[in-house]
Amino acid sequence: MMTPQQKLAWYNLTVTGVTLCLILIAYPLLGRGALGFLGFLGLQGLGGLFYGKKKGTVTWDEREQQIHSRSILAAWAVLWLYLSMACMITWGIHYFYQHQYVITIDVLPLILFGAGIFVVLTQSIATLVQYGRERGDAKD
Amino acid sequence: MPKTKITNRIRRLRFDRNEMTQQELAEKVSVTRQTIIALEAQTYAPSLTLAFQIARVFGVGVEDVFQDDGDEKASE
């Protein structure tokens, strides 16, 4: 049986994966219009429903908290690495290939969406890896 | 700093207490059953608070439930 945190991690991974697949499939047909599928990422907001309180059931304890904290830490580290790389690469490409010191305005939202995707992916994977590592004998 | 591994006798103690289930123990100490599973699999070291709560459920001292491998090395 999965904890709400595990369910949320799987849910976020699924939503992100499906969204990226839809974009890849639609891109040859719609071009940049396919990026509109990024709106599907908003479905992650429904993840809070996994924490619906069932009477008498404990859904959050110190171990859940520890796993959550470590996952956030991993996501935070990846976020800064991503932002550093994204900024250097984006501006670098524009400078070296177009000899411009500015980037086009439509690149900025994509960088932000990319940051969100990286954070969610890293946090979800880190969460699932920790549960997998701690998986023990489930027998009563 | 040397890393010590905390081991425990929770599984043994549960069976000694009328075969208490993992769920029953989890409810008594307000954690998820997965946490009890992780504790018994020795993959999670509990906080002091949880360790005391578990020991209290079994009516024994903390050191009767939890040991660290440094104890064994020291006694060898």
Q: How confident is the model over A111-126, as pLDDT tens digits?
A: 999 999 999 999 999 9
Q: Residue A85 — very low, low, confident or very high, per pLDDT cuts 50/70/90? A: very high
- Picking from A12-21, A103-112, B22-31, which range would have the lowest pLDDT averaged per residue? A103-112
Task: Work out the average pLDDT over A97-116.
Answer: 86
Which CATH number belongs to the domain containing residue B65 in this structure?
1.10.260.40
**Residue B69, pLDDT score:** 74
Task: In whole angstroms, give the CA distance from residue B52 to residue B62.
Answer: 6
Number of domains in chain B: 1
ipTM for the assembly: 0.79
B49: CB partners within 8 A, 6+ apart: A62
**Percent of chain A whose predicted confidence (pLDDT) is above 70:** 95
Q: For B38-71, what is each residue's pLDDT tens digit?
A: 999 988 999 999 999 999 999 999 999 999 876 5
**Best B25, B34, B42 residue to mutate vs chain A (most A CBs within 10 Å):** B34
Please indicate whether, in this complex, the C-beta atoms of A58 and B30 are within 8 angstroms of each other: yes
The whole-number average pLDDT for the span B7-21 is 92
Tell me the average pLDDT across A23-46. 93
Asked if the structure places residue B37 within a domain, the reply is yes
Which positions ≥6 away from A104 have C-beta within 8 Å?
Answer: none
- For residue B76, what pLDDT band results from cuts at 50, 70 and 90? very low
**What's the residue count for chain B?**
76
The answer to whether residues B10 and B40 touch, using CB atoms and an 8 Å cutoff, is yes
Cα separation of A116 and B32, whole Å? 30
Is the dihedral angle over the CA atoms A86, A88, A93, A94 positive or is it negative? positive
Q: Is B1 contained in some domain?
A: no
CB B9 within 8 A of CB B25: no
Helices then strands, each counted (H, E), chain B: 6, 2
In a domain, B51, yes or no: yes
- The verdict on B47 touching A (C-beta cutoff 8 Å) is yes
Question: Which structure tokens are listed for A135?
Answer: 């998986």
Domain span holding position B41:
6-75
CA angle in degrees (0–180, nearest 5) for B50-B52-B55: 110
- Rounded CA separation A113/A41 (Å): 9
- For testing the chain B interface, which of A2, A54, A61 should be mutated: the one with the most B CBs within 10 Å? A61
